């Protein structure tokens, strides 16, 4: 079973992402959804996800803060930034984090899912 963490303060985006993954990935998936990056950071090492989708713009703790404080301890989660920002500075900054696999723009689309999960 795949374990997937979604960190996004927008419940509609989280709902759409979960449904799209569930519908297009053959393997069973267990989802952990967080509206708070801070709370996700506290629990992430217990979950040990296979995949993590992270929004950048959130209150309290943004995606960059999460990445700065996330130190994967025997956690080989594939991290994807899923953001509505198309600012080249964000895309460039994301590429500087070795734990980030890719920068994807919202909404998540079927083409991305096939690339990520195959």
Query: Tens digits of per-residue pLDDT, 32-89?
Result: 999 999 999 999 989 999 999 999 999 999 999 999 999 876 668 899 999 998 899 9
**Of 99, 104, 105, whose CA–CA distance to 69 is shortest?**
99
pTM above 0.75, yes or no: yes
For the chain, percent of residues with pLDDT exceeding 90: 81
Query: From CA 91, how far away is CA 17, in angstroms rounded?
Result: 20
Look over the chain and give the mean of its residue pLDDT values, rounded to a whole number.
93
Contact indicator for 100, 67 with CB cutoff of 8 Å: yes
In the chain the domains, ranked by start, together with CATH numbers, are 2-117 (3.40.50.2300)
User: Which is more confident, 12 or 118?
Assistant: 12
Q: What is the CA radius of gyration of the chain?
A: 13
Mean pLDDT, residues 85-105 taken together: 94
Q: What is the pLDDT of residue 118?
A: 80
């Amino acid at each position: 079973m795949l374990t997937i963490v979604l960190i996004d303060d927008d419940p509609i985006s989280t709902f759409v992402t979960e449904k799209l993954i569930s519908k297009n990935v053959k393997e069973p998936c267990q989802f952990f959804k967080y509206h708070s990056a801070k709370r996700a950071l506290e629990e992430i090492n217990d979950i040990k996800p296979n995949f993590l989708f992270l929004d950048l713009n959130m209150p309290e703790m943004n995606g960059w803060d999460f990445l700065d404080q996330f130190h994967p301890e025997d956690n080989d989660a594939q991290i994807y930034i899923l953001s509505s920002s198309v600012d080249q500075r964000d895309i460039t900054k994301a590429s500087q984090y070795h734990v980030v696999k890719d920068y994807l723009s919202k909404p998540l689309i079927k083409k991305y899912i096939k690339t990520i999960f195959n």
